[in-house]
């Protein structure tokens, strides 16, 4: 999306939507969770040694452009993984190149075996209707916050609280 179009979308959307990711409800894909960058870097390095920019580019490619971790998250992660002995770094032609160590392979295998890691580039693309429903719900909520009477605001809070509880009950099934 062009810079001006993105800027216009940001101006039109309430700020709380944009604070959750690259767009409403986390943007076109999901936002990376704690541990995603770390495990994703190990996953990429499993294919062979790379420097930081190559890792970023590969992660973006795997996600079809939907997820591109920032250098500010990848480079410190690489350094941390090196400090932990999970990757080994060496200088080649003026660039720091990282390779997975045996300990890194074991950590990656353990994470996969636990089954608690879903790669950020592997997400469901059929959530558009859910995002739209959530966004369409927030429009009247924001109007209520601005124009509703105290009684209307309290009734809206009760409705939203009930909806939240019902959604969590569905997740708990």
Domain positions in the chain are 30-114, 128-172
Using CA atoms of 135, 34, 73, 60 in order, give the dihedral in degrees to the nearest 10. -60
The Cα 53–Cα 94 span in angstroms is: 13
Q: pTM of whole model > 0.95?
A: no
* Percent of the chain with pLDDT strictly greater than 70: 74
Question: Is residue 86 within 8 Å of 107, Cβ to Cβ?
Answer: yes
Q: What is the pLDDT of residues 18-75, one digit of tens each?
A: 334 444 434 444 444 545 788 889 999 999 999 999 999 998 888 777 778 889 989 9
How far lies 76's CA from each of 37, 113, 172, in Å? 10, 26, 36
Class of the domain covering 30-114 = mainly alpha
pLDDT at residue 155 tops 70: yes
């Amino acid at each position: 999306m062009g810079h001006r179009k993105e800027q216009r979308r940001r101006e039109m959307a309430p700020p709380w939507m944009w604070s959750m990711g690259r767009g409403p409800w986390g943007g076109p894909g999901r936002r990376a969770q704690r541990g995603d960058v770390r495990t994703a870097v190990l996953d990429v390095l499993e294919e062979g040694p790379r420097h930081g920019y190559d890792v970023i580019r590969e992660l973006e490619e795997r996600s079809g452009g939907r997820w591109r971790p920032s250098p500010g998250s990848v480079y410190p992660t690489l350094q941390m993984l090196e400090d932990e002995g999970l990757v080994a770094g060496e200088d080649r032609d003026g660039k720091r190149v990282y390779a997975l160590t045996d300990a890194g392979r074991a950590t990656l295998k353990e994470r996969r075996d636990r089954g608690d890691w879903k790669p950020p580039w592997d997400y469901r693309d059929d959530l558009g209707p859910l995002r739209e429903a959530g966004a369409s719900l927030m429009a009247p909520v924001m109007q209520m916050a601005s124009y509703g009477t105290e009684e209307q605001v309290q009734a809206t809070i009760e409705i939203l609280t009930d909806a939240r509880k019902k959604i969590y009950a569905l997740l708990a099934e």
